[in-house]
A = this chain, B = another copy of it.
Amino acid sequence: MNGNPHLFIPGPTNVPDVIRRAMNIPMEDMRAPDFADFVIPLLADLKKVFRQKSGRVFVYPTSGTGAWEAAITNTLNTGDRVLMSRFGQFSMLWVDMAERLGLEVDLCEVDWGKGVPLEDYAARLAADKDHKIKAVFATQNETATGVTSDIAGIRAALDATGHPALLFVDGVSSIASVEFEMEKWGVDLAVAGSQKGFMLPAGLGILAVSDKALAAHENARMARCYFSFSDMIKLNDTGYFPYTPATQLLRGLRLSVDMLLEAGMESVWERHNRLAAGVRRAVDQWQGCRLVAHGPEWHSDTVSAIYTPEGVDARHVIETAYHKYQTSLGSGLAQLAGRAFRIGHLGSLNPVMLCGALSAAEMALVDAGVAIEPGAGVAAAQEHFRATTPPVQKSVTKARAA
């Protein structure tokens, strides 16, 4: 009765009503004669979202974490050396997983607020004359800090040294939202999740794999079963799955992919940039607050992590927003706990939703004693949105009824 809650965490994101409807279906027979007619084109079209023509996409009933594990256990071997960097909660967890799965991690520690250190990577690759490094890992978008890294730059570093390592990208909070080019950038394994740019509930880990990674799979000997590429390939090639798939999510994914491709990936990326820029304009107006990201080159178009002023507990801001304004903001994770909050701005969103979110944040900041001018951030965002509106879309009613 008190209206809708407002969800501005960086995932799960808001599921469009049309997708909720597309998923709200009775169970179906995943071994039906014509189920393959649904699966095969879906997997083919998913590749277009990742921008790959070769290779494969796997869809697991799992989370992004599970897809990370699938990527590693299917293509590397215990004791393999991998190049990684750590600059936020999620890159940190990835390092942790790599170590627990038995990899030897060549680790670059980076200040939180920056991303993958290109020069450092380049230097270590150049120094690795024997090609002991089997894979290079990069978190494209560090969800904890709102920092985006330069994946094309890593490819350039690999190419410059002629290094044959596989390139792993964690694109959980970037793919289907900001520019990602599987083939152009020579990415070998890219991990995405259903609950971010794909605008679906959590439950699917989506993994794009290059032909080179598929070749590496042939010689990878880690124990695996649930996440096995081979099992998946065998069944996927016939249009089925090795175990019961989450058919509701797959039907939702079908619509999500249709929506993304119909809009065009470039348009999706531009939309996220426009929305993110509005949020950043607002943050600029909030005296005492600043982005965790160290500079524009690191700005993430899917999530902004924002330091509260010294002495103001960000947890208090988040709790106020939640209880008093029915608005979920992202919390500060690990070393950012209490020091920062986050605004997720990816997936199905529009300027008016963001003006609401920025209002909630402003009210909660003022309640917490931060001396910002009420409305100032919203005003800056409004001006940005006004000035950048794309050509009028006339099909609102039609889309609503879809």
Partner-B contacts on A (CB < 8 A)? 1-7, 9, 11-17, 20-35, 37-38, 61-66, 68-69, 73, 78, 97, 100-102, 193, 195, 199, 201-203, 222-226, 228, 242-249, 251, 254, 259-260, 263, 268, 271, 319, 322-328, 330-331, 348-353, 355-357, 359-360, 362-363, 366-367, 373-376, 378-380, 382-383, 385-386, 389, 392-398, 400-401
Residue numbers in B under 8 Å from A29 (CB-CB): 7, 9, 322, 328
| Residue among A248, A259, A359 with the highest chain B CB neighbour number at 10 A | A359
Contact check: which of B9, B193, B249, B348 meets A203 at CB < 8 Å? Answer: B249
A149: shortest Cβ distance to chain B, in Å? 21
- Assembly stoichiometry (copies): 4
Q: A21-B24, A29-B328, A323-B396 are in contact. List 16 more A-B contacts (CB 8 A).
A: A2-B348, A3-B16, A4-B26, A4-B348, A17-B26, A21-B21, A21-B25, A32-B322, A37-B397, A100-B225, A324-B389, A325-B385, A353-B356, A359-B378, A363-B386, A367-B386
Q: By the criterion CB–CB under 8 Å, are B359 and A246 in contact? A: no
CB closest residue in chain B, given A70: B226
Residue numbers in B under 8 Å from A73 (CB-CB): 223
A134: shortest Cβ distance to chain B, in Å? 16
Q: By the criterion CB–CB under 8 Å, are A348 and B247 in contact? A: no
Q: By the criterion CB–CB under 8 Å, are A223 and B225 in contact? A: no
Q: By the criterion CB–CB under 8 Å, are B243 and A64 in contact? A: yes
| Residue among A203, A319, A389 with the highest chain B CB neighbour number at 10 A | A203
Q: By the criterion CB–CB under 8 Å, are B34 and A397 in contact? A: yes
Q: By the criterion CB–CB under 8 Å, are A202 and B1 in contact? A: no
A322: shortest Cβ distance to chain B, in Å? 6
